[in-house]
Amino acid sequence: MRSILFTTAMTQLSHAHAAAAKPFHSRRPATTSALTAFAFPEIQTIVTQATSGLATYFSLVAYFDRPRGKLFVDPSNIEAKQSQVEGAGLGLYATESMPEGTLLGTYPGVVRPSNKYMEKYEKLPVMGVYSWRFTDNKSLVDPTDREGKLHDYCLGGTDDFPLSYFMHENVLKWKVPTLLARINEPPIGGGGCNVRSEENLKTREVVFSLSRDVYAGDELFMDYGLTYDRTGYS
């Protein structure tokens, strides 16, 4: 579907370009006014086709490369700071007590087809630390920027379409908090997990909720699943 819509937009632009390149032949000299009268509708058509093609293209880029995910919990109830897990960097902590079943939100990032994701991953393997792979292996959620780095907000954009990063970072500026991407696995011998995840393969969302009561100062932990690469664990 993604490629079909993209092809449609590019076809419209191609038609506009072809119309612009088509030569005009006449058997007799034409006056300036006659040429203008003839050419104006044709120029108008070219402009209309080009505008329509560009509008379709940018609409598709905005839709497919948009940042997804949102917080259901009050942002003041959680914070990112140094994790208890050695070498894990930042972790996510509760700043207020919250009961079991509390919905935290959905995983942040851009949903990408597996093959497109792997093209970026091969160049920037560090991004794999923060990506969520769906259990059917058809797509992943990538919250990182063009350099594979995780920031406080995901703005969207990919290398799949020209100008995608530019449009999302400088024009649309949609901001999705990436706090939920900071949740680590518990340390070996630790107290176990207090966060559970539930995938919706139809909507390509991952919902996080508390699997038990947590208290202010508790670090949030979850199980990354059977397919996660733990070769770097000590």
pLDDT tens, 85-134? 988 999 999 999 999 999 999 999 999 999 999 999 999 999 999 999 99
Which of 220, 221, 224 is CA-nearest to residue 77? 220
Is pTM beyond 0.85? Reply is: no
Cβ count near 111 (within 10 Å): 22
**Which CATH class name applies to 75-210?**
mainly beta
Q: Where are the beta strands (DSSP E) in 39-177?
A: 78-82, 90-94, 103-106, 110-113, 132-133, 139-142, 153-154, 176-177
pLDDT tens digit sequence for 56-75: 999 999 999 999 999 999 99
Give residue limits of the domains in the chain. Answer: 1-17+39-64, 75-210
For the chain, 234 residues long, give each residue's pLDDT as a single digit of tens. Answer: 555 544 555 555 454 444 444 444 444 455 555 555 555 668 888 888 889 989 999 999 999 999 999 999 999 999 999 999 988 999 999 999 999 999 999 999 999 999 999 999 999 999 999 999 999 999 999 999 999 999 999 999 999 999 999 999 999 999 999 999 999 999 876 779 999 999 999 999 999 999 999 999 999 999 987 666 655 554
Question: 3-state class of 171 per DSSP?
Answer: helix
**Identity (one letter) of the amino acid at 231?**
T
